[in-house]
Amino acid sequence: MGVHNAGFRPLLVNEFAKRALETLTENGAAPRDPEDASMPKPGKGRPGLRAEGWPLVPGDVRRIPSFEFLKDAEVDVLAGGPPCQPFSLGGVAKGDEDERNMFPEMFRAIREMRPKAVICENVRGLLRPSFNPYFEYIKREISLPFVQRGEGATWEEHDAVLRKLLKDGSVDPSERYDVVHVPVNAADYGVPQIRHRVIIVAFRADLGVEWDKHKPDPGYSEAALIDSMHDGTYWKRYDDVPGIDLIRERVVATLPPASLVPDGKKPWRTLRDAIAGVDGNKPLPPVTVEQVRGKLVVDDIPDHMGWPGARAYAGHTPNELDRPAKTVKAGVHGVPGGESVMRLDDSTFDGTGYRYMTVRETARVMTFPDDWILAGPRGEKMRQLGNAVPVRLGEVFAEAVRAALDDAEGRA
């Protein structure tokens, strides 16, 4: 959706997870046979809304025999997030030895469709020192996707070949990609959530793209949020919240001093901002104790439903309303620990002062539009959101890639 919002139109979409497939179909994606090698029509869904017409291949990407039928379309962007469990701090961290590592399929797709650019999102665990040699190898594989690893060769042996070729510069630029990686915190790009990830961006070397001119700068900061709380501009938006003066006093007492020299950025967006509505969203109505205990939908708003049992304890700390939300995680059981619990302004709410975030609130934290339909039971909806890329983050980087490609084309 982020890439679509940036002006690209999907020629092919692949998804493995059953419930995510149902979600894409509910939002208008058009299922397609993996064996179909005809040129698909670009998806025509309106940016920011539905997946109308997105050609959707369900199932394991390895079942797609070839992507070469897309070569004639002169694909602008291949965008994806190869399953991250091999590298996640929450997984078993087997890295390249894990059978869930789908980077080889991304390399295959690059070889077979020859896109002008590649955008890849993954967990920050890729940057851990223990994975650094393999991560650098991944980037070199993206740089030289046509130099395939020989059968039976170790990745270290293949890496030595790639290093030599990159050093001597003998590879045709049309078969080489210039690759960079950008560590990001989604909150720095206007997402109301702390979410540390790494974005890999690559451009085909023969295009002469100047990425440094277009790389997105983080436009939001924690320091600017703290300053806005000290000077009162943050709180003015919430004058109608009961007890806001006491809430302000309590929150400000925990903050470091305001900046002596402001950084010129916008304040991080908070969970309170997400619920109150940003980017044109209307405020979500509050959830009552009765709606929590009865698992009731609030004001007929899809996925804005109470859920009982929220609590906090050591190692299970809740979200704070006046901070960006904690990282939304998929979790083995769909709804992980404190990441989906929020501390309320009313400390007496349901005898605890806590409640679970609704699915709709979580979708807002992931910057999905309110009319995006999520399929499956609550746990599966939360799992999909935890596995997703925040739409706004994807859009920021896709817009930068589009600008870089347009610039290169204009200079050609």
Tell me: the pLDDT tens digits for 123-175? 888 888 888 888 899 999 999 999 999 988 888 899 999 999 999 999 999 99
> Quick one: CA dihedral 269, 287, 352, 383, positive or negative?
negative
Distance (Å, whole) CA 85 – CA 43: 29
Which of 59, 79, 55 minimizes the C-alpha distance to 69?
55
Give residue 123's pLDDT. Answer: 87
392, 370 Cβ separation under 8 angstroms? no
Distance (Å, whole) CA 361 – CA 366: 9
**CA angle in degrees (0–180, nearest 5) for 253-320-374:** 160
314, 337 Cβ separation under 8 angstroms? no
- The parts of the chain modelled with pLDDT lower than 50 are 88-93, 332-335
Neighbours of 248 (CB within 10 A): 17
Distance (Å, whole) CA 310 – CA 49: 32
Out of 84, 179, 271, 284, the active site residue is 84
Tokens of 279: 């980017």
| pLDDT tens digits for range 267-323 | 999 999 999 998 888 999 999 999 999 999 999 999 999 999 998 887 788 999 999
Residues 6+ apart with CB under 8 A from 156: none
Residues 6+ apart with CB under 8 A from 80: 106, 109, 119, 120, 121
Tokens of 106: 């991304």
Give residue 36's pLDDT. Answer: 93
2-218+389-411: which CATH topology?
Rossmann fold (3.40.50)
**CA angle in degrees (0–180, nearest 5) for 390-194-233:** 100
Distance (Å, whole) CA 102 – CA 14: 13
In the block, residue with structure tokens 């974005």: 199
Asked if 84 is an active-site residue, the reply is yes
Give residue 31's pLDDT. Answer: 94
* Domain ranges across the chain: 2-218+389-411, 220-387
Instruction: Write the DSSP symbol of residue 372.
Output: -
pTM of this prediction?
0.93
Phi, psi angles (nearest 5°) of residue 388: -85, 170
